[in-house]
Every structure is written in structure tokens, then in C-alpha cells.
Structure 1
């Protein structure tokens, strides 16, 4: 077992991605289990991600929300000869990812909506801080005994910021990228809402709203045709189907905000979510949904009546 900075003892690798790997580790100073994400070094000094990852870790560390896996620390390791390897120390969320659960097929609609309500609440907290996740997908949603934890703000970015990646490269998972992301537009909260729409669709049907066999075919199909509508699902409220459809709109202005999505989905299953006090975009919504107007009014009333960092909503 390796130890980083004489403090974090790496015990078991629990995840591998294209640019990083995640380890279950033990914090010897604070006597607790943690997750450590090691970011692969670049090919040369110009590719070193240390400064970028440090900035992203600082942004993610500002988030304090029950549905966000918190960031504890940032550091670098000399594991690679002569090259600093950045790592992020995070809360260890115990459970299974939504991706694992969906291998057995679609979730019961009540569970799917509850999960996505909590994901939307986590995004609302991030968006209130001006942070866009950019990689919302089932593998980054952990289902724990205490509820949902949204993982991996490792490629999060400030809203409105141009992607620092080289021209022609876009971070994220192709199936969950908003149309404007494919055109390399600046990241905005609306891009996360597109991904939430895909996540909700997938949770309800165990398939994507596009039919394609490969990633390249998927990108081609997405540019040529709109997403497929949700199939009929017994008992699913029409407002939830409408919200899913609105999230998948090509026009970012037509997508609901994360705050409104969290409130609408939570009310559909009589659940409670925690949303930020600020509601910067709550009223800029699709005007055809009565649920949208009610959720915005409910959020406004909560802000007016409750004094605190967050407010529980739902029945």
C-alpha cells in the first residue's frame, strides 16, 4: 500500500477512468476512510493539470450539500519520477452507483424521480455557486443508505467559462452532452440540465433517448434528429414527462433550472430536498407548465420566510 504525503494510505482501487483513478484510502491524521482521486500526469510539462485541478478542487470544496460528495483536500504526489501527480481527497460515499442499479433494467418511476430530484438539488447548490458539473451521468450518482451523492466535480468549471481543453476536445460523456457543448460553447447550468434530462430518461427506461450502436454514431444521430419521447409509463405524472422533455430541449433557454427541477420532481413523489436560498433563474422557465409556476412561487415563498443556508421543500 502507498501513502500520499505521509497521510493518505491507499487501500483499494475502486474506479478507473480515462484520465484518473479513484482509491479507497485511509486518512491517518483524522482517522477516517476517504476516497482519493489520482489524476494522470500529462505527456509533457505543458500538459500538467496541477493548476487546473487545484482550481477545480477549490471550487468543489465550496459546496456543502447533503447530496454532494464533499472535497476534503488537494495535493500532489511524486509517484511518477520527476512529475507531480495531483490528487483530490473526497468524502467516501458508501453504496452502489446508479449505473450499477440500471444494469438490471429501469427503476420504478417513483425511485427514478426521487433519485433525479436529489441530483437536481445537488446541481442547484452547485449552480448557486456558479459551478457547472459537466459530467452528470449514472456512474457519477451514488445511491447510499442516506440518499443520493453526486460524485466527481473533477471536471467542474465556472459557469460561462470556455473549456480549457484543446480545440476539438470536449470533456464529458457523449450521450449526456448538451447540443451547445458539442459546438464547444461556454459551460452553463443549462448544460447540466440537459444531462439531467438524459439521466431521468435513462432511469425510467434503461436506455438513452437516442438509438445508436457506437459513440460516433450517437453524435451523428443527435445532430440529425431530436430525442425520442418517453414511452408511456404507468402512473408517471404528466408533469414529470414534460419536465424530462423540457430538459432535452435544443435551446438552453427552454430548459428548466436545477432549482425548479428539484422542486417539481420532489413534489411528484412527496419527497423532501434541500435547495439553496438564492433563486437566480427560477422564473425563466417554460411557460406552459403549471408545475413550473407553482415551483417558482414555492421557492420564492421559502426564500422570503426562512432564514438559513438552505431550505427543505416538499411534503
Structure 2
């Protein structure tokens, strides 16, 4: 058992990644459970790493949304002499990840669409703040009794910013990376929308929209072949299938925004999602179909109604 800064008690490790590990902890000052993400100290440019993680924690802390796991605090701890390791204290989301649920096969389409509607709503909140998640995948989607929580904005970055990683290294999970990310283009909200399309496809079918058995084979297939179309799914509204197809477009300009996706998916299952009160100026986008315009109009009406209701 360890305690960070005399405040955060680490009770047990609950996850390990390539550059970090997540612990179940307890905030002894506020007497509440928390999740603590410890970042590997690395060997070089330690000051740069701490500054980058601090900036990312500040960005994520701005996000206040029911489908986003909140960030509470940031600090550093000494793991080796002269090598402080940054850590981020977050809301502890109780439940199981979408990845765990998908081990048993695809979800019922109504559940899959509802989950992805809430993920899209979380992304709309982030995109409204100029933040791109960059690692939307089943392991970062927690299903809790109160709904979906999108986890781990640990590699989030400002929209349009160049990746601070060394040339040739791209952060993220290969199957969910947009084509432009593979070419190391600046991060944009459209990259998250590609990942949402893969997430929706996987949730509906239990497999990726590409046939590959290894990460290298997957990258090769991604560069040479378009994603496979969704198979017929009984009862699935055609506008959901079209949204999934549009999210997987190679051209970022052809992908719908997170706001439109959240509202359309929620409408398909008669659910409600929380969307930002202000709608950012839309980027140029090729027309998809009439339902896109309808969803955008409904977004405007929903925001206007909420603004009037709140005075």
C-alpha cells in the first residue's frame, strides 16, 4: 500500500497500459474512492513529459459532462531518485468496459446504438472545448449503472495540434486510427469520429470492419482496402447504418460531427443525451443525406430550447 502526497491511498492496481497503470485509490481528505493513473517516468525529457501530462490533465479537467470520467487532480511522485512520475486523479467509474461485454459477441443493436450515442455526446463535449480524445475504443468506454463513461483522455490533444511524439510514432490503437492519423496529420475531431464508426461497427457485429490477424497486417489492409459494409441487422434503422458508413469515410470532411452523431443515434433508440449548449461553427461537409440535415436542425432546436429553459 502506498500514499501519494499524503492524500491518495493506492488500494489495488486495476489496469496496465504501455505507458501507464491505473490504481483504485481513496482520497483521504475528501473520503471518496478515486482512480489514480500513474504515468511511466521514462528516461529522457522528463520535464517535458511532466509538462505535457499536466497540460492534458488541465484540458480534461475542463470537461464536465455526465458521460466523461472527471479529472480531479494532478501531481508527481518520486519513483526513482531525480525522476518524478506524473499522476492524474480521476473519478472512479464503477462497472465493466465495453471491451469486456464484447468478448461474448455483438450487442443487441438497441444497446449498441445507445452506448455509441452517449460516447458521441461525450465527444461533442470534448470537441466543443477544442479537445480530441485520440483513443476511442471499447477498453476506454465504461458501462456503469448510470450510463456510459468515456475514460482516459491521457493522450488527448488540442484540435489541430501536431503530435508531440517522435516522428514515426503514432499514439492510439491501430484498428481505431483514422487514415490521416496513420500519416501523422494534425489531430482533429474527425479522427475521433472515425474511431466512433469503428466502435459502432464492432458493437453491432462483434468484429472489426477489416479482416486481419496481426497489427501489421491490419495496417496494411487499412491502407489498401475500404472498410467492409455493415451486414444486414434485423431492425437496425437505415440511418444508423449510413451514419456508421459515413464515420468510416477516408475523407475527414465527409464524416459527421459528434453532435450530429449523438442526436441521430439517440433518436434511433428514443433516448436522451446531453449535448453542449453551444454549437461550434460547422466545418465544410459533403452532404450525406436528408437525415443529416434533420439531425442538425434538431440539434439547433434542442440547444435553443435548453437555453430558453435555463433563462
Q: What is the TM-score of this pair, normalised by structure 2?
A: 0.97
The separation in 1 between residues aligned to 2:135 and 2:308, in whole angstroms, is 29
User: Could you tell me whether the CA contact under 8 Å between 2:246 and 2:288 is conserved in 1?
Assistant: no
Which one is further off, 88-97 or 38-47? 38-47
Show CA shifts across 1:216-274 (max 9, x none).
00000000010000011000000000000000000000000000000000000000000
Show CA shifts across 1:97-120 (max 9, x none).
000000000000000000000000
User: Could you tell me whether the CA contact under 8 Å between 1:42 and 1:48 is conserved in 2?
Assistant: no
User: Cα distance, 1:277 vs. partner?
Assistant: 1.6
Matched, 1:73 2:78: no
TM alignment of 1:224-303, pairs within 5 A: 224-282=224-282, 284-303=284-303
User: Cα distance, 1:176 vs. partner?
Assistant: 0.2
User: Cα distance, 1:44 vs. partner?
Assistant: 2.6
3-state SS in 2 of match to 1:274? coil
TM alignment of 1:1-315, pairs within 5 A: 1-45=1-45, 49-282=49-282, 284-307=284-307
User: Could you tell me whether the CA contact under 8 Å between 1:285 and 1:292 is conserved in 2?
Assistant: no
Q: How many pairs align?
A: 310
Show CA shifts across 1:169-194 (max 9, x none).
00000000000000000000000000
Show CA shifts across 1:197-234 (max 9, x none).
00000000110000001000000000001000001100
3-state SS in 2 of match to 1:23? strand
User: Could you tell me whether the CA contact under 8 Å between 1:246 and 1:256 is conserved in 2?
Assistant: yes
The separation in 2 between residues aligned to 1:309 and 1:112, in whole angstroms, is 31
1:313 corresponds to which residue?
Answer: none
The separation in 2 between residues aligned to 1:101 and 1:211, in whole angstroms, is 21
Question: Unaligned 5+ residue runs, structure 2?
Answer: none
User: Cα distance, 1:300 vs. partner?
Assistant: 1.2
Show CA shifts across 1:30-67 (max 9, x none).
00000000000111345751000000000000000000
Question: Unaligned 5+ residue runs, structure 1?
Answer: 311-315
**CA separation of 1:305/1:37 partners in 2, compared to 1, >3 Å: closer, same or farther?**
same
Question: In angstroms, what is the RMSD of aligned CA positions?
Answer: 1.5
User: Cα distance, 1:284 vs. partner?
Assistant: 4.6
**CA separation of 1:157/1:283 partners in 2, compared to 1, >3 Å: closer, same or farther?**
closer
